[in-house]
Amino acid sequence: MGDREKIRVVELFAGVGGFRIGLERANPDLFEVVWANQWEPEKKVQFAFDCYTRNFTKGIHVNEDIAKVPNEVFEEQKPDLIVGGFPCQDYSVARSLSGEKGIQGKKGVLFWEIKRAIENSFPKYVLLENVDRLLKSPSKQRGRDFAVMLATFRDLGYTVEWRVINAADYGHAQRRRRIFIFAYKNGITFDKEQRELTPEEIVYKEGFFAKPFPIEQEPYKNRIAEVVLPLDIVDISDNFSFNFHPSGIMRDGDVYTVHQTPIGENPVPLKDILVDESEVDEKYYLTKEMEEKFAYLRGPKKIERTSSTGHKYIFSEGGMSPTDDLDKPGRTMLTSEGTVNRSTHIVEVNGRKRFLTPVECERLNEFPDNWTKGMTDRQRYFCMGNALVVGLVEKMGKRIVEIQKESKNDIVQLDLFSVG
């Protein structure tokens, strides 16, 4: 296969490489990660980057602040696909002091680095992942941040589909809800085909997400909405508010969004990802003191607290099972996994309670065993708490392969689109 046939990938905020593993599992001959960046600010040891470079040898791997990467780097890489998981931040924008310079976003917000990468390379596709609260942030102006993102893609010449996916709904071992955002360049073959369809047909049957992640043909509780994004992105930042549902499409500023119901598959139960008990080090078993602490943390409670203004109130918390049900998929894994914390998984095997091992956490996200070996357990748990479920990306990768097969002539078209 010649280089022109490959899908050149730039991976931003690469972490320990979840996107890359998923894409390479989807088609190792087609996806080629040519450039990847991972940088953890204020950390002397770059654990995630070290893990990435230990496991991947091909391509350029960069360990520096993404804001310091010159525009020319993105131009030179000529990516067909940009991927990345980025934090949910404040995406508000303001008019620059000298009005002709357009808008300015807050410094340090990583989405603006994604925008910069796109506008200096104009890939055919962009695939991003974030926490699902992105749809509703900020709380005082719900939907503003996501609307700013959608308007940014609109202004760059892209159509956007999004879907909040719970991995366990589609046969995976973790109840992890994340929003995935797929943007594609206006004018490519896929875009032309999609423009023959209604927004309903795209979201329910024919779009990027509908095929690998099927849904019922009626919205949940009739939750469906449409809106037109204001042309002025500063106006959106200052005044716009809207209730985005977990699935939808934005094309030319027109938004169609629904709350979908998955047509699911049976999830993988927790018991299927456990290692053989003979391989579990004694340090992962709970001491008597830990068991007592977890019994309190996971039990129901009502506690009187005092706010910063002196107001007294009752903090209440419902109880949860003392251990995680081995016949169900795991709960959402957080970066605090493996610590004495209410959200940490506790399994009981052969009458003994213990933490999940780092390898089991890798399996919850469908990474290869010992992918993060070489760093401390605490760092291994942290990296997996930040990672995504690789199998979801693999399914999306296969969908991109389908789209790419229909778009073999797009390279010539895109060169024309990118001029000027």
**Structure tokens given for 5:** 């046939």
Half-sphere exposure of 88 (CA within 13 A, CB side): 19
CB within 8 A of 208, min separation 6: which ones? 161, 182, 184, 396, 399, 403
As a whole number of angstroms, the distance between CA 126 and CA 114 comes to 9
CB within 8 A of 251, min separation 6: which ones? 159, 160, 194, 195, 199
Catalytic residue flag (residue 88): yes
Integer distance in angstroms from the first to the last C-alpha of the chain?
31
As a whole number of angstroms, the distance between CA 183 and CA 124 comes to 8
Please pick, among 51, 88, 361, 383, the residue that the annotation labels catalytic.
88
As a whole number of angstroms, the distance between CA 116 and CA 72 comes to 11
**Structure tokens given for 152:** 């940014």
Q: Give which of 75, 52, 77 is closest to 63, Cα–Cα.
A: 52
As a whole number of angstroms, the distance between CA 49 and CA 17 comes to 9
Neighbours of 405 (CB within 10 A): 10
DSSP letter for each residue of 355-383 = EPPHHHHHHHTTPPTTTTBTB-HHHHHHH
Q: At which residue do the structure tokens 């010159």 appear?
A: 70
Q: Give which of 173, 172, 159 is closest to 212, Cα–Cα.
A: 172
CA torsion through residues 348, 353, 356, 358, sign: negative
As a whole number of angstroms, the distance between CA 38 and CA 56 comes to 13
As a whole number of angstroms, the distance between CA 345 and CA 12 comes to 30
As a whole number of angstroms, the distance between CA 220 and CA 133 comes to 19
- Active site residue ranges: 88
